[in-house]
Amino acid sequence: MKLAFFLLRLLSPETSHYVALNALNLFYKLNLINFFYPYKYSGKPFEFKGLTFQNRLGIAAGLDKNGDFIDPLGALGFGFIEIGTITPLAQSGNPKPRIFRFSDQGAIVNRLGFNNKGVDYLVKKVKNRTYKGILGINIGANKCSDGQKRIDDYIECFSKVCQYADYISVNISSPNTPNLRSLHLEENFLPLFEALSLARKEKEYTKPIFIKLSPDEDKKIISAIIDAIKEFEFDGIITSNTTIEKDNLRYSGPHNLDGGLSGKPLLSKSNELLKITHEFDPNLLKIGVGGVDSKESFNSKLDFGASLVQIYTSFVYQGPEIVKRLLS
């Protein structure tokens, strides 16, 4: 396994990502996952709004954008899987190279830009899954959409996935789609939240809706969003998405590093947002994500108010073994 990880790192980050996931899928089809990764969590499940999370650790959106790898990821022992971000229409995302790895710092910078195969493709994959655990679906808007069309994109995705999602997360915080983070402004998030609330009632969707936040906004903006989340009776938040600040990232290479920073350097910033949101409303459910790569950082999310925790970058670097490391 160590040799396999070494060889993967010789490939470009985006190529190695898909090679690794397809290898995991092959292991799953050959019934080899339990042989290589036999860990089974034996602790107490977490209950929320009628959902039973077998444990508090999940995989964050972005790893499996299209729902191609739900079953193999679900076999690794996660308490929940989140797929997406999905948009109404397929789109290729931003130009390559668009993923930059800093393995010595446990960090990744990406500017993917919601590359995905479209919501209809994802729905087909979700309908054909055998995974019976908690599945969240992260929704967004196409790059070309703005104003009312952007709201329409979210509603189209919501309407198409709600029948199959145990929860829906609303991505208003990716830094890699132009102007998407403007949805943190009250004049923009209020119409979106109102449209989502109406769609929820029309579809009779009773399962949770979470809003995924940026770690780069000030307290006043976050406070306004929390108030609106409570007003529209949404169920929680995901804190946080990647950060555009890279002051604590060491880099002297040739590439422009525009994009979102994830991994270990994000831990303190995402924990600060988690702490702030918990102070604003300790009863609002929070999924903590950002910088979790050890038992200590996992516990820090819970200490700052998260009920559930997600990982992405540490899974890329440490592989499936990290599930046991964090939950044991």
Q: Would you place residue 5 in the very low, low, confident or very high pLDDT band (cuts 50, 70, 90)? A: low
Query: What are 74-132's pLDDT values in tens digits?
Result: 999 999 999 999 999 999 999 999 999 999 999 999 999 999 999 999 999 999 999 99
Q: What is the mean pLDDT of residues 46-74?
A: 98
- Cα 125 to Cα 231: distance, rounded to the nearest angstrom: 34
Q: CA-CA distance, 93 to 20, in Å (whole number)? A: 21
Residue 320, classed as helix, strand or coil, is: coil
Please provide the distance, in angstroms rounded to a whole number, between the alpha carbons at the two ends of the chain. Answer: 21
The arrangement of strands across the sheet holding 99-102 comes to 99-102, 107-110, 260-263
Which domains, ranges and CATH numbers included, belong to the chain? 42-327 (3.20.20.70)
Quote the CA–CA distance of 262 and 314 in Å, as a whole number: 9
What percentage of the chain reaches a pLDDT higher than 90? 94
Residues 6 or more apart from 327 whose CB is under 8 A from it? 39, 41, 43, 55, 57, 77
Which pLDDT band, with edges at 50, 70 and 90, does 1 fall under?
A: low
Q: Which residues are catalytic?
A: 174
Q: What integer pLDDT is reported at residue 279 of this predicted model?
A: 97
pTM of the model: 0.97
Q: Confirm if 192 and 232 have CB atoms less than 8 A apart.
A: no
**pLDDT tens per residue across span 149-169:** 999 999 999 999 999 999 999
